[in-house]
A = this chain, B = another copy of it.
Amino acid sequence: MSLKNIQEDVDKWISQWKVGYFEPFEALACMMEETGEVSREINHMFGPKKKKSTEEKKDLADELADTIFTICCIANPLGIDLDEAWKRMLDKFNTRDKERLERK
């Protein structure tokens, strides 16, 4: 019951505006914008210039949250239940991928 709350937060925010949800391709472009900003932050923190700091960790955290927001903007108008998909993923891990890697 975890991603449900997240999806509801997004829905509450979006549903107050006249413009509403974007079309799938537009929402996808937003997701790519945010993924690009995550990349920029990781380049800042760990790239050749390396100016790692608490401030930058917060900036990266913010971009990751923004990306999750755009994921919900794709999922919500399509009626996608992310908790269900998350559970399916964990089930797949625990069956198909159970012996894939070397254990500790």
Contacts and interface: CB of A to CB of B under 8 A. Distances in A.
Given A65-B82, A82-B64, A86-B9, A39 B43 contact: no
A45 B25 CA distance: 10
Contacts of A24: 42, 45-46
Indicate the member of A6, A25, A66, A90 with the most B CB atoms within 10 Å.
A25
Nearest to A20: B104
Given A9-B90, A101-B18, A31 B26 contact: no
Nearest to A79: B57
A18 B37 CA distance: 26
B13 A90 contact: yes
Interface of A: 2-6, 9, 13, 15-19, 22-26, 28-40, 42-43, 45-48, 57-58, 60-62, 64-69, 71, 74-75, 78-82, 84-86, 88-90, 93, 101-104
